[in-house]
Amino acid sequence: MDASSGPVIALSGGVGGAKLVLGLYRILPPDTLTVVANTGDDFEHLGLTVCPDLDTLLYTLSGQANPELGWGRADETWTFMAALQRLGGETWFRLGDGDLATHVERTRRLAGGESLSAVIDSFRRRLGIGARLLPMSDDAVRTRLETDRGALDFQDYFVRLRCEPAVRRLHFAGSETARPHPEAIAALAHPALRAVVICPSNPFISIDPILAVPGMRDTLRASKAPVVAVSPIIGGQAVKGPTAKMMAELGLPVDATTVAHRYADFLDVYVADEADADAVAGLDMPVVLGPTLMQTLEGRERLASLVLETADRVRK
C-alpha cells in the first residue's frame, strides 16, 4: 500500500480539535479516518450521561454543529431549559431540545448494558458519518481540577464557574484502571498507518486525559507512523478557551513551545502558526509553520492537507 493511502488517526477534544477533524474528514476517504476522543469532560447531569467532546465530533462531522456556541446543535430550541427553569431545576448547564435526545438515548442504551463505544458507533452510522469515532476508553475517566477554590469536577470548573478559578493541578479520576479502547490501540499499531494527528485541542484538559489512559502514550511512542501535533496556541494566545490561562497558572511559558514539550516523547513533527515562528525557533524537533487559524471550511481543509503532507515528508 502506498504510504499516502494508509489510515489516519486523530486524537481530539471538542471545538478546536473537531475543526481539524472535519478538515481531515473532507480530504480523506471517510473510512480511512479514526478519531479517538477525550471523555474526561463526560459527566452525569440531570440523570443523563453527557459526553461533550464525542457529541461535538458527532455534530461537526454530520453537519449539525452550532458554530456560534462551539458545542451543541445548530438551529437548536430551548423549550426544555425554559420549562426546567420554571420548575426551579438546575439550568447552569444548557441542554438544547435536540441535544437532549442524544443524552436520553445514550443514557438508556448504557443502562441497557451497551458500551459507550457501541452507542457512539451506532449514532455515527445513523448520522451518516463514514469515519470511525472512538471514546478513548469505555471505562469512566473524569477530569478533576485542584484550584484556588478547592477541588472541582470538570464541568463545575468549565461551565458553572466559567474557568475562573486558578488551576493548580489536574488529575484524571479512573485513568489508572481504565482500559484504552482496543480498536484505538489496534489502529495506532496498524502497519500501514499514515499518520497520527494530535489536534489543536487544549493539552491539559483534552489531550492529557487521552494520554493518561494506560497504554496510549506507550503505543504512541512505539508508533511506526509519523506523529504530528498542531499547536492550539496562535500568536502566543489560545484561539478559544482557557489553554493560555492554564499555562500561566501552572507556571509554564505561555507560548506554542509548551505544547510541543508536553508531547516531546512521542512527537515527530510540530505544526505551529506562522505568527509563532520566533517562539518555536529554538525547539529541538522538526517544526513546520503554516496558517493554523481555521476560520473557514477551506482553512480546515488547508490545514488538514498541510498536516498530512508534513507526515508524509517525515515518514520514518
Residue 204 to residue 207: CA distance in whole angstroms: 6
Q: Which stretch binds ligand FO1 (CB under 6 A): 90-98, 173-181, 228-236, 254-262?
A: 90-98
Smallest CA-to-CA distance from 31 within 122, 137, 128, 118 is with 128
Q: Which stretch binds ligand FO1 (CB under 6 A): 47-55, 126-134, 214-222, 227-235?
A: 47-55
Quick check: 138 binds ligand FO1 (CB under 6 A)?
no
Of residues 188 and 205, the one with the C-beta less far from ligand FO1: 205
- The distance of closest approach from Cβ of residue 46 to ligand FO1 in the complex, given in angstroms and rounded to an integer, is 11
Quick check: 95 binds ligand FO1 (CB under 6 A)?
yes
- The distance of closest approach from Cβ of residue 95 to ligand FO1 in the complex, given in angstroms and rounded to an integer, is 6
Close Cβ partners of 273 (under 8 Å, ≥ 6 residues apart) = 231, 233, 234, 235, 256, 289, 290, 291, 292, 293
Quick check: 72 binds ligand FO1 (CB under 6 A)?
yes
Of residues 14 and 226, the one with the C-beta less far from ligand FO1: 14
Quick check: 245 binds ligand FO1 (CB under 6 A)?
no
Residue 50 to residue 104: CA distance in whole angstroms: 9
Quick check: 99 binds ligand FO1 (CB under 6 A)?
yes
Quick check: 13 binds ligand FO1 (CB under 6 A)?
yes
Which position among 23, 60, 71, 220 is part of the footprint of ligand FO1 (CB under 6 A)?
A: 71
- The distance of closest approach from Cβ of residue 94 to ligand FO1 in the complex, given in angstroms and rounded to an integer, is 4
In sequence order, what DSSP letters do the residues of 142-163 get, joined into one string? EEEEEETTEEEEHHIIIIITTT
CA distances from 261 to 85, 122, 264 (A): 45, 37, 5
Quick check: 155 binds ligand FO1 (CB under 6 A)?
yes
Residue 180 to residue 200: CA distance in whole angstroms: 21
Residue 72 to residue 64: CA distance in whole angstroms: 8
Of residues 6 and 72, the one with the C-beta less far from ligand FO1: 72
> Where do runs of H (alpha helix) occur along 127-241?
154-155, 182-188, 208-212, 216-222
Cα end-to-end distance, the chain, whole Å = 15
Which position among 9, 28, 37, 50 is part of the footprint of ligand FO1 (CB under 6 A)?
A: 50
* Residue 92: CB atoms within 10 Å: 11
Quick check: 109 binds ligand FO1 (CB under 6 A)?
no
Torsion sign across C-alpha atoms 83, 87, 90, 91: positive
Query: x/- contact string, 15-44, with ligand FO1 (CB under 6 A)?
Result: --------------------------x---
CA distances from 205 to 20, 38, 90, 134, 290 (A): 18, 9, 24, 18, 25
Q: Which stretch binds ligand FO1 (CB under 6 A): 48-56, 121-129, 137-145, 169-177?
A: 48-56
Of residues 42 and 268, the one with the C-beta less far from ligand FO1: 42
Of residues 171 and 302, the one with the C-beta less far from ligand FO1: 171
Residue 124 to residue 64: CA distance in whole angstroms: 12
Query: x/- contact string, 178-197, with ligand FO1 (CB under 6 A)?
Result: --------------------
Query: What residue ranges bind ligand FO1 (CB under 6 A)?
Result: 13-14, 41, 50, 52-53, 55, 71-72, 93-95, 99, 155, 158-159
